[in-house]
Every structure is written in structure tokens, then in C-alpha cells.
Amino acid sequence: MSIFDKIRNNNQTQQAPAQSTFDKSQKNVTITFAALPESLAQLQSLPEASLDTPFKAAALTLCALCAYAAEPTIGVEMLNYLRGPAGPMSNYDLSFLKDRFMDAGVYIPFSYFDGAKPENDYTPAEPFTVTISAGPYAYQNDGYATLDIRSGGADSPRQITLRQKGNQWFLWEQRVMVGVRKPKSLDPWA
């Protein structure tokens, strides 16, 4: 039984390695997951878990937030792993995250994957694909990368900031768990 069965009614495909396209000269990187990881071990087994680009760390952050929507304990484990040297989330971070998921916010992290939009209640297309962009100010601070991710329910991109240590990038701050348009099933005006 999938941890996402609580959120989605259709069957999950079995976990398979993610495929990504990455070229340092590109401003947009698309990463595709055959299925979303359902445990820290599954997340760590993905090629993106090398965290050797900020794009990989950002994509895995979205996966961890989706896992949180289904099972908060697993999502927190994943997020703590992605934080690396910053250590586990503080009580403030945990409270903030819990607050973001209240009132049907479980659909927000799914809204960043291709095909997810209010009209289909933010059900992403499978395989799960996300495009992450490096804008003109992405690397303005040495050792940090602030990347943009578009939601199917927002007019402007949202950001995830990653911090570099050695050859790896870790989650520093996420600003993706903010309001998006209501899914059709929850919108009384739809």
C-alpha cells in the first residue's frame, strides 16, 4: 500500500530510478521521476540524491513535500536529509510546515509537477516531471542558488534556495508552500 493512497485513488507505479537532463549551460533543467519516493531509503536511492547540482536538490525537495502531504513523518525524514549540515528542522520549521498543510494544502507540492492544475485538482501527469529554472539572480550570493519553479496554480514562479558545501547542494530555504488557486473540487465558484 502506497503512502500516497491517502491522497490519490489511482494506483502508483513501482519505484524506478529518476531520469534527469542537466547541462550547466542551461537555464532550465527538467527532472522526471517514474514514481515519487515513499521513504527516505527510496529518496536516497535516486540518482538525484547525489545532490551534485542545486536542481537535483530542489526536485527532491518537492518529492519530500509530496511525501509530507501523505505521511508527515516520512516527509520530515526526507527534508532533514536534504538539509544536510544545517541539521534537522527546528520546532519553528516543523510548526510552519504543519501550518502550510492545514486546510487542504496537501495539493500544493503536487502543483509544481507538469500537468497539475486547478481544473484536475492538481493531479500531475505521470511520469512526474518538474522544470526548475535558474533566473538571472540565481547565483548572486556565492555558495547559494535560488531557483524558480512554476506552479500550475500560480502566476509567478516560487523559489527554493540551496546552499553548497563541497560538491553537494542542500536545502536552505523553500518558498514553495504558499497559496495557489483552489482546486476545482474545493472552489465554490468553479
- Helices 54-70 and 72-83 pack at an angle, to 10 degrees, of 160
Name 169's bridge partners.
Answer: 164
> Does some domain include residue 189?
no
> Does some domain include residue 66?
yes
> Does some domain include residue 60?
yes
> Does some domain include residue 6?
no
Provide the domain count of the chain. Answer: 1
> Does some domain include residue 99?
yes
| Residue scoring higher pLDDT (27 or 17) | 27
> Does some domain include residue 8?
no
> Does some domain include residue 108?
yes
Sheet containing 144-149: order of strands: 19-20, 28-33, 128-133, 144-149, 158-165, 168-175
What is the span of the domain harbouring residue 130? Answer: 17-178
- Per-residue pLDDT of 156-184, as tens digits, reads 999 999 999 999 999 999 999 988 998 88
pLDDT for 133 beyond 50: yes
- Per-residue pLDDT of 1-25, as tens digits, reads 677 776 765 434 444 444 433 343 5
> Which residues contact residue 24 at a Cβ distance below 8 angstroms, ignoring those fewer than 6 apart?
none
pLDDT at 12: 43
